Structure 1
Amino acid sequence: MRTAAILLPALLVALSPVAAAAAEPSPELTYRPEVDLPIVVVGGAAWVASELAKKGLAPAPCRWCAANALDTSVRDALVWRGNPNTAHDLSNVAVVAVAPAAALGLTALAAWYDGRSENIAADLMIVAEATVVAMNLNQVTKYIVGRERPYSHFDNPDVLRAGVGLSGPLPNDDNLSFFSGHATATFALAAASGTVASMRGYRAAPWVWANGMAIAALSGYLRIAGDRHYFSDVLTGAVFGSAAGALIPALFHGPRRGVAGPDTHGFRISLAPARGGIGAGVAGTF
C-alpha cells in the first residue's frame, strides 16, 4: 500500500490535464424547434409561392438595363460559346442537389464522427434556416431591382434558340439578374454548415468549409458561363449568402458555454484515507 500511496500522486498529476479537458462541457447551440422549424417551413413556402407568382411579380421592362465594362469583359471571357445552356443545367444540379447534399450531409457526418449524433437534427435545422432566410431576402431584392439578364441584354442566340423550358430561359425571368439566387443559396449553405461545424467544435469542420465553398464557387462560375448572371450578380450573391450563412447561426444560435449536452464525457477522481495508504475512486460518464 505504501507503493500505492507513492504512485497515486504521480498518476493524478499525469491524468489531471486529461480529466480537465474531458470534464469541460462541450458547446451547446441555442436552438428552439418551436421557433426555428416554423421559420424554415414558412420561409420555404414563401419562396416557392414567389416563384409560382413570378408572372405577376417580376418586372416586365428592365429597371436596370445597362451592363458595365467589368461585367461585360468577364462575361465575354467566361460564357460558354455554343452551349451556355449546359452550364445553366449544371448550375441547377449544383444548387438543387449537390450543394444541399454536401452541406447537410457533411455536417451530419461531422457530428457522427465525433460521437455527437444527437446534434444532427438541430444542426441541419440551423443550416436550413439560414439558407431559407437568405433566399427570401434575395428574392425580394431581385423583384425590386429588376436587372436585365446578360443573355437578354446581348440577345444571346445560344440561349434563346433553346426556347422556354428546362434548358432555355424560364418564363418571366429576363429581368431578375441581380443578385444571383444560385450563388446566394450555395454560399449560404456552405457558410452556415461551416459555421455550425466550427461552433460545435467538430474535428471535420475545415472539410465542411472547404467542400461547401468549392461547390459554391463552381456554381457561381456556371451562372456566368450559362449567361444567366453577370460577375457582379454572382459576387454580390456570394458575399450576401456567406454573410447570412455565418451571421444567422452566430447571432441567433451561438454556443451556450458551460451547458453540458448529453454527449458530454468526463470523469473525476476522488481520494480518501484507507488503512495503510490511500484509496482512489473514479466516477463519471465514459
Structure 2
Amino acid sequence: MEIERNEALELIALGVLADADGPVGSMRLAEVFKETGHDLSQATAGRFLRQLDLLGLTKGDGGKRGRTITREGVARLEELKDKVTMREKSSRLMDAATVTDLSDLHELLLVRRAVEAEGARLAALRATDSELSDILAQARSHVRDVRAQRVPEAESSTRFHRSIAEASHNPMLISVALVLLEPSNPALTGVLENVSVQSAKVAGHANEHVDIAEALMSRDAELSQRLMYRHITSMIEPVQETLATGNGMIIEPLLSSEIGLKLS
C-alpha cells in the first residue's frame, strides 16, 4: 500500500537523521534509500526531505547543507517504530492462527475458548440493547435452519461469535478474537461446521447459541461466560476424539482437496 510505503520511507529518513552527527542531504538519503531496497533518485530524496520540512519533522538552513531532525521528528520516529513493532506482533499472531492440521485446529479452539468466554462476559455488561437483539436474532435464525433440516452456513456461526466479541467493546479482545475467527486458512469455518455435522452436534450447537444470546439479553455476565466456555468445549471434544482415534470423522475430501488438512 502507498501509505505503508511512505511510512517506510519516513522511518528510514528520520532514522538516518536521528543517527547522524550533522545535517543530512538528499545525496546521502538517496544512498540509504537504495541500500534499503528503495531505488529513488537524489531529486526524489530532496523532495521527500522538503515534505518532512513542511510537516515540521526536519529543519534546514535553506541552503544545501542538509537537514536535522526536530523534536517533533524524534516523536514521529518513535511512533513509526511502535507501528512496526505492532505489525510484527500482528503478523506473528496471524501465523499462529494458520491451521494446517487438526492439531493446529485443536490449539486454536483452546485459545478461542478462553478469549470468547471473557468476551461473552464483557458483552453482557457492555453491549448495547441493539447489539444484543441482533445477536439473539442470529441465534434464532441458526435454530430455524436446523429445524428445517438445513445445514447452517459456516459463516453464520462465525458471524454470531464475531458479534459477541465486538459487543465486548474491548479493543484488545476484539482484535485477538477477529484473528482467531478469521484465520488465514479460509476453509476453517467449513471444517468446524463439518465437525459438527459428522458428530451430530449441529442442533446442540444451535440451541447453545440461543442459550448464550438469552443469557446476554438478561445481562447475566457469569452465566454468559460459563455458557460460552461450555459451547466451545463442545466444539473441541469431537476434534479431540478425531485426534485420539484417527477415525477420519471429518470429511476426507474436504481435508485433502479443499484445505489440505492432515489427520495427525
Same fold (TM over 0.5): no
Q: Normalization by structure 2: what TM-score? A: 0.26
Instruction: Decide which structure has greater strand share.
Output: 1
Flag the structure with more relative contact order, 1 or 2, with Cα contacts below 8 A and sequence separation at least 6: 1
